[in-house]
């Protein structure tokens, strides 16, 4: 029987870590992800898990030690937020290019400055080119479920890439919600033992990690990473299918909420999708207008064709970004979804919004305004500004 509980997002991920019982977890405190290593340290102190915790002196060292542990043959993970992820930047690339199946519990928080501890996606979006798989959650349940699936994806022999499991700071990480947990034994069977193919501590086969590779090898290694990301698409869906058989909860690259018959669609990532769903229900009930949502779960690898296919019948699309990319053209999700539609030959009105930076709230009314704007755009075939802001004081 599944276990019904009430947990915060941080507790939910920590609980998943406890159930997985990984080998090594280096971590450094930072708001709002700090609770995750705190819970893990407590499980260790109470003798509930065998994991070795390394209380490192910085996030750079946290990812460095995670890499060392993973190279040695251990199942290794860490957790961080915001500036912590930024300090790991160099190491994110090292982890991905060395093909270490590390998992990182990321609690999304705005990057400095000004220093701000609240939710936005500038941290993980900044790391979008680092070669990591990125999976996002709307709720505590999704953060937990995604985490349970993470090592199955990262350790798959056709993938062997690090995975970032993202949830929104405070809104998800500290908000307590009802959650359905999977029984320990089922988790153990689902995740399985980690038996690395090559590792430093294999006495039969010494291994060298982290070479200097000049221009006659570098490019092929990058291409190999891309192939692994392509393979990851298949693996992510297979793992999700198996997870659904175990729990009844269905996951894919994204969730389509009332998108089947929709004329107007919002594309969004993370916790704000919940508020957007309330707006969709409200509009449909009140006006009968056909509005829907495409909520991205997997941002890396980017499911370009699948997204374009899901949006093929809508008249206009608003893509909502919770991070800037400072091209002065909008946000990263906006750029990539727009490109996906163009490549699929879809000629429709598209607008990109920036919202919720540094934890600014977004309301049901504001989502309703976006749907109104989408209707106007579709009718007039006029976009006006390609990107604009929600809830910004001018």
- Kindly state whether residue 58 participates in binding another protein, applying the rule CB under 8 A: yes
- Kindly state whether residue 64 participates in binding another protein, applying the rule CB under 8 A: yes
Q: Compute CA distances 362 → 4, 234, 332, 359, 392, whole Å.
A: 29, 34, 19, 9, 10
Q: Indicate the DSSP class of residue 189.
A: H
Integer Cα distance of 357 and 155 in angstroms: 34
Q: Residue from 56, 153, 228, 362 that binds another protein (CB under 8 A)? A: 56
Nearest approach, Cβ of 219 to another protein (angstroms)?
A: 12
Integer Cα distance of 381 and 2 in angstroms: 50
Closer CB to another protein, residue 213 or residue 392? 213
User: 103 near 154, Cβ under 8 Å?
Assistant: yes
User: 346 near 352, Cβ under 8 Å?
Assistant: no
Q: Residue from 34, 66, 139, 323 that binds another protein (CB under 8 A)? A: 66
Closer CB to another protein, residue 212 or residue 326? 212
Integer Cα distance of 299 and 254 in angstroms: 9
Nearest approach, Cβ of 17 to another protein (angstroms)?
A: 14
- Burial label for 252, CB within 10 Å (0-12, 13-18, 19+), is middle
Closer CB to another protein, residue 76 or residue 266? 76
Task: Say how many residues touch another protein, by CB under 8 A.
Answer: 43
Q: Residue from 12, 13, 36, 74 that binds another protein (CB under 8 A)? A: 74
Closer CB to another protein, residue 58 or residue 380? 58
Q: Residue from 60, 249, 289, 376 that binds another protein (CB under 8 A)? A: 60
- Kindly state whether residue 162 participates in binding another protein, applying the rule CB under 8 A: no
Integer Cα distance of 180 and 20 in angstroms: 16
Stretch that binds another protein, among 68-76, 159-167, 229-237, 252-260 (CB under 8 A): 68-76
Nearest approach, Cβ of 197 to another protein (angstroms)?
A: 14
- How distant is the alpha carbon of residue 95 from its chain centre? 17
- Number of Cβ atoms within 10 Å of the Cβ of 255: 18
- Kindly state whether residue 52 participates in binding another protein, applying the rule CB under 8 A: yes
- Kindly state whether residue 192 participates in binding another protein, applying the rule CB under 8 A: no
Residue 51, CB half-sphere, CA atoms under 13 Å: how many? 31
Q: Which chain residues interact with another protein by CB under 8 A?
A: 23-24, 26, 50-52, 54-58, 60-62, 64-74, 76, 90-91, 94, 200-203, 206-214, 217
């Amino acid at each position: 029987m599944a276990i019904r509980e009430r947990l915060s997002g941080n507790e939910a991920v920590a609980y998943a870590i406890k159930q997985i019982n990984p080998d090594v977890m280096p971590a450094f405190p930072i708001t709002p992800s700090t609770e995750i290593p705190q819970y893990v340290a407590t499980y260790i102190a109470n003798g509930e898990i065998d994991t070795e915790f390394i209380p490192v002196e910085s996030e750079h060292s946290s990812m460095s030690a995670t890499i060392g542990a993973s190279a040695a043959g251990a199942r290794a993970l860490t957790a961080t937020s915001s500036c912590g992820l930024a300090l790991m930047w160099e190491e994110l690339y090292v982890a991905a290019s060395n093909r270490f199946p590390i998992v990182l519990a990321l609690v999304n928080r705005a990057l400095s400055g000004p220093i701000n501890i609240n939710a936005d996606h500038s941290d993980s979006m900044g790391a979008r080119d680092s070669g990591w798989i990125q999976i996002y959650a709307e709720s505590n349940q999704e953060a937990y479920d995604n985490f349970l699936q993470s090592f199955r994806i990262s350790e798959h022999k056709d993938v062997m890439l690090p995975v970032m499991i993202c949830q929104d700071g405070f809104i998800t990480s500290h908000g307590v919600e009802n959650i359905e947990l999977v029984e320990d034994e089922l988790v153990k069977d689902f995740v399985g033992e980690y038996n690395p193919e090559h590792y430093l501590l294999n006495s039969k086969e010494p291994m060298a990690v982290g070479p200097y590779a000049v221009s006659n090898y570098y490019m092929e290694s990058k291409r190999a990473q891309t192939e692994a990301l392509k393979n990851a698409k298949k693996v992510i869906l297979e793992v999700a299918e198996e997870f659904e058989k175990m729990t009844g909860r269905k996951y894919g690259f994204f969730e389509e909420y009332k998108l089947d018959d929709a004329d107007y669609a919002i594309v969004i990532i993370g916790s704000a999708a919940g508020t957007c769903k309330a707006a969709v229900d409200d509009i449909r009930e009140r006006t009968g207008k056909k509005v829907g949502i495409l909520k991205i779960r997997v941002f890396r690898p980017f499911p370009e064709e699948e997204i374009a296919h899901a949006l093929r019948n809508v008249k206009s699309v608003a893509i909502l970004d919770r991070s800037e990319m400072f091209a002065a053209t909008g946000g990263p999700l906006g750029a990539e979804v727009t490109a996906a539609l163009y490549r699929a030959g879809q000629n429709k009105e598209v607008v990109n919004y920036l919202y919720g930076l540094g934890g600014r709230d977004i309301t049901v009314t504001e989502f309703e305004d976006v749907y109104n704007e989408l209707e106007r755009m579709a009718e007039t075939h006029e976009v006006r500004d390609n990107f604009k802001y929600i809830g910004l004081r001018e």
